[in-house]
Amino acid sequence: MTTTSTTAPQGHELRTTYAILAAISLCHLTNDLMQSVLAAIYPLLKTEFSLDFWHIGLLTLVFQLTASLLQPLVGIATDRHPFPWALPIGMGSTLIGLLLLSVAPTYGLLICGAGLIGIGSSIFHPEASRVARAASGGRFGLAQSAFQVGGNFGTAIGPLLAALIVVPLGRGSVAIFAVLALVGMAILTGVSRWHISERKAAAKRPKPAGHGLPARQVRIAMVVLLALLFSKQVYMASMTSYYTFFLIERFGLTPAGAQKMLFLFLVAVAFGTVIGGPVGDRIGRRTVIWVSILGVLPLTLLLPYASLFWTGVLSVLIGVVLASALPAIIVFAQELAPDRVGTVAGLFFGAAFGVAGIAAAALGLIADSTGITRVFQGCALLPALGLLAAFLPRRGML
């Protein structure tokens, strides 16, 4: 495996294991790609099973509940009782869920399939984040960015692949994606073997000194980080769910043209995720959080009133800057509780997923009652919550 040596604060050598980071990122792409397939096949399911919209909503609810609420529980359990083989098992749950979706004869089994995909995601995220940190060699931000960018690309290309494969070939072709899950299981089996050996090696290394912060200050910082995550995810939900509608209404774009603008935004989000972690390693995560959340406020305030050209420019800048916050937030939280890496990852990834789902529904209701432009004018104020970063411990305290 390709590695790079770094020097830890305690004077012993650590290594960044890039092969493991690449494997985890690739499997994150696979996991989130398969998640996005579920929503992409809703029109097929609605027609085939004569579903009402509340049936579709229930499928989404089951998936979101299992994919978000279970993540902190998985993190707590594996922090207390480490189980490196959880990763291929989680991918196996997703595989079974996909097969159920492809052949289920009843709506009840569709619900089971959605739930199994959600369970697989709940197992994957906290454990994969733990492995990324173990493979970081002390470059925690870099590792977290590498892990997260795979999920960004998976979410982006999932609907495209579903349109190319499932729409023309029918629901049974969902089973093709199960092959990806099988490949993911094989890769994660190798990752689990590496993690077992890494845990044994880590047990022989000196433990790093704790940050020494009072428990109350740690709790306040965690609440602040969750509030910052809330502001980021709600604004992201407005963009990913309603940006195309905003463009069509305000500028008269065709759906295809609006989708191209959304694609540019999503590419910018992926780029921001890549740079956020390494920059945090160099200049401090607190600084990255300040700039990423509060720094984007002038851009979000301008966006609802800009011309088409400047709307595109602003959306790309917003995507890059705002997306860089998530790796910094996750790593900052893990540094506050270094003995609960899985719990923290589960809590924050679960919260990110849950907030995005709830926000998308709530913003839809607001758009119906006040108009889509009002949604973007209101959401433009969310980055002001970045002021709360003043309550985070400074770099020298961690």
- From 204, 225, 259, give the residue that closes a domain: 204
- Residue 210: inside a domain, yes or no? no
**How much of the chain is helix, strand and coil, in % rounded to 5?**
85, 5, 15
Crossing angle between the packed helical segments 140-169 and 18-40, to the nearest 10 degrees:
40
What pTM was estimated for this model as a whole? 0.79
For residue 278, is it within any domain? yes
Quick: pLDDT tens for 11-55: 445 688 999 999 999 999 999 888 878 877 887 888 889 888 788
Nearest Cα neighbor of 270 from 149, 96, 115, 167 is: 149
- End position of a domain, from candidates 158, 177, 204: 204
Query: Is residue 8 one of the residues assigned to a domain?
Result: yes
Residues 303, 184 share a domain: no
Residue 308 has pLDDT above 90, yes or no: yes
CA distance 192 to 197: 9
276 and 255 within one domain: yes
Answer whether residue 127 is part of any domain.
yes
10 Å Cβ neighbour count for 186? Answer: 11
29 plus 135 within the same structural domain: yes
* Residue 232 shares a structural domain with residue 370: yes
Residues 76, 122, single domain; the answer is yes
Does the residue 78 lie in any domain? yes
**Residue where a domain stops, chosen among 151, 178, 204:** 204
Tell me if 114 is assigned to some domain: yes
- Give the structural domain span for 266: 215-397
Concatenated DSSP letters of 171-200: GGGHHHHHHHHHHHHHHHHHHHHHHHHHHH
| Predicted pLDDT at 8 | 44
Residues 168 and 251 placed together within one structural domain of the fold? no
Q: Are residues 158 and 262 in the same domain?
A: no
pLDDT in tens, 355-395: 887 888 788 888 888 998 999 999 999 999 999 999 999 86
43-78 tens-digit pLDDT: 788 888 988 878 887 887 888 788 888 888 888 888
User: Does one domain contain both 41 and 180?
Assistant: yes
165 and 266 assigned to the same domain: no
CATH number, domain at 234? Answer: 1.20.1250.20
Is residue 209 situated within a structural domain? no
Residues 241 and 358 in one domain: yes
Q: Do 97 and 228 lie in a common domain?
A: no
Domain count, the chain: 2
Same domain for 195 and 239? no
